[in-house]
Amino acid sequence: MNTSSDSWQQQGTFWLLDLDAPRPSGVAARVPATFTRVVEAAAARMLADAMRLPAEHVRARFAAGARCYVGAVDGVWASYGWVSFHEEQIGEISLRIRLKPGEAYIWDCATAPAYRRLRLYTALLAHIVAELRAEGFTRIWIGADSDNLPSQYGIATVGFQPVADLLINSASPARQLQLRGRPGAPTQIVSDVRQMLHGGDLIL
């Protein structure tokens, strides 16, 4: 196994929002927008079209207990984000997150190209956070790719804190993964991230 530091490349970062923390102020889109939770029966086809996914894939997400929230501008769905509460696949890597009671995981968020740079993503996250806080959730997790700086900015603006980086061994055909706590991140929080990750060739 090649453990040279040069072979390990940062893939992404896990961020955590403790819902007991103070709420940030001034989180709003730069255009008038409406944020709502999608009702599956009424909008699965519209959502599938917006995401460019087969409708059955969208229905499967709902069937697994995931929620979807959207941001609309002038009646057009401009941004969306999914939330899971039990278990979820992380992107294209062979890892899954298993959540504890009271936790939620935000994933697969996007904004249509014509509506970017309008802070819709940030405002959508703020809406989701407010909804989950009102329901009594205690923690929200989210991940961001290392090269997705706009996403990281939006996540930080809403109040999330980076707690651990996920690295990939570029010299390993098996796509070995490694988790590293962020400097200053509480040891218990980093341990919680390790405990919720399952599957794949992960070096904890």
Report the C-alpha gap between 34 and 44 in whole angstroms: 18
CATH number at residue 155: 3.40.630.30
- Name the more confident of 17 and 89: 17
10 inside domain = no
36 inside domain = yes
Report the C-alpha gap between 78 and 114 in whole angstroms: 8
Phi, psi of 19 (to 5 degrees): -75, 0
- Averaged pLDDT of the chain: 88
177 inside domain = no
Q: What tens digit of pLDDT does each residue of 92-118 get?
A: 667 889 999 999 999 999 999 999 999
171 inside domain = no
Q: Over pLDDT 70: what percentage of the chain?
A: 89
Instruction: Please say whether the beta carbons of 151 and 145 come within 8 A.
Output: yes
Q: What tens digit of pLDDT does each residue of 125-153 get?
A: 999 999 999 999 999 999 999 889 999 99
58 inside domain = yes
Three-state secondary structure call for residue 117:
coil
pLDDT band (50, 70, 90) for residue 1:
very low
Contact partners, residue 13, CB within 8 Å, separation at least 6: 143, 144, 146, 152, 162, 164, 165, 166, 182
Other beta carbons within 10 Å of 182: 16
pLDDT band (50, 70, 90) for residue 158:
very high
* Number of separate domains in the chain: 1
State residue 201's pLDDT score: 55
8 inside domain = no
Q: Which residue's structure tokens are 């927008």?
A: 33
187 inside domain = no
pTM of the model: 0.90
| Domain assignment of residue 50, given as a range | 21-160
State residue 173's pLDDT score: 62
Sheet strands (E) in 112-190: 139-145, 161-169, 177-181
Residues in the chain: 204
State residue 133's pLDDT score: 95
196 inside domain = no
